[in-house]
Chain A
Amino acid sequence: MRKRFQIGVLAGLALVASACGDDDDSAALPAAQAAVTTAAATQPPVTTAAPATTQPAAATAAPAEAPVPSRIVSLSPTATEMLYAIGAGDQVLAVDDDSNYPPETADKMPGLNGFEPNVEAIAGLEPDLVATDGTNPDLLSQFDTLGIAHWEGQAAVTFDDIYTQIEQLGAVTGHVAEAAELVGHMQSEIATVIDALPVLPEPLTYYHELDPNGFWSVTSDTFIGLVYTEAGLVNIADAVGEGNPYPQLNAEFIVSEDPDLIFLACTKYCGETPETVAARPGWDAMSAVVNGNVIPMDDDVASRWGPRIADYIEQVGAAVAHAAGVPAG
């Protein structure tokens, strides 16, 4: 999908702006497709049982004889975050250029590109495991040819996908207990947020802004959309209908829908702030702007499905509480 997306860019550059009509291609950073997660080639499949019930006992599932990888290359920013969060950071040898979290990864960027990875450069690092997001099947078959073990964590569709991926990485890297602990922590954090949500006569509506250059958004059919659904919110972009999870919305529509909340998910890369939104002509009278319910979010967290999604939903919960506390109008 990303590859197609880049081809789309090239076509655009070739002055045929008309060549790419498929909205799906254009906005999709988190390619929310099927979540078939394959375990690493060297490891037996990891348990996919509900993590809450498997607690520390899951430690027994750790592979006995297989050596734990100590030269991991991660080409997926989400996988990188997961590896560090379960204490496998020391085993990470190198990460791709987009793996900017946690900050320690800065020392481990040899210039690998997650979109167009250079297989020779990766092989030259002599990794004993490569973590990818599974969107590039050609790359995976090249790894197979070279005998390089790889693990795929595709874009999550549900929260369980995240927990499964964290547990798989825990099993693969020998950090089963930490992985279980992280999953438990995330689950309780998210449960706390959801329990604390105010009871409202009518659900609040929101607009999630992926990019202000054309008002790209997401529908509830995406993973990040699911996060908001969990927080009890209704997405104005769902009016677009199915089959277009990353639509480009019409400005008139957004303003006339007047959502209760506006989440800005292009703060780092586009520099959007509540102030820039208020300064847009015609937007100043919107309820979210007037009531201070325009919330800057972290672009990276919003486009990944890593451990920080628990903090994200916490932020959303706080925003909902604030919006619910403000009298309507």
Chain B
Amino acid sequence: MIKSERILHDLKTERDVITKPLPPVMGLVPVFFYLSVICAIGFNISFFIKNKEIEALTAEWTNKAELENIEKVKTEEQIQLIRNEDQKAEEVYKWVQGSKQIQPLALSIARSMGQKSSIEELLLYREEKNPHQIRIQLKFINGGQKQLDTTLSAINSIGYRAYSANQNLIQGGKVDYQATLIWQDNNYITKELTLNHE
């Protein structure tokens, strides 16, 4: 036994320089290390998962916002279309108001003439700036003021009113009458279509 101890002693030589052990508190260093490894891995995995979820949510909100913006742009386009239609309707309305049938007016004036009276010339025209107004220039012979009153009441009966009238009664019952006729329908664009020949 003694012999073998000697042999071992021979193999393991004495170490001259052995460092001083660290203070006992330093034993916590590996504990902190392992703890921080576990925490770091745990926290980072948790942060990574949350980050992915948040990124997905962000992408979803961004997509939704883009869809909303697209919808808004579409709505704006529709608004523009409606405005264009509205403007077009205004123009058409103005045109139609200036296209009211003139034949009933001319006919009612012609029919209002008494047996002795006779139209020499009847001019009905629309000025380009105010096509809804009709200028009338009527020249007739015989009948005088009485005939003119009859003709004016015939004009009134079909819905026109005379403004800025100017009349010349010439000897022999000849009358030269000028006026502006305005349609008395004050309804603006109604829901129902009213063709001007109706």
Q: A and B from one assembly?
A: no
Using CB atoms and an 8 Å cutoff, list the residues of chain A in contact with chain B.
Answer: none
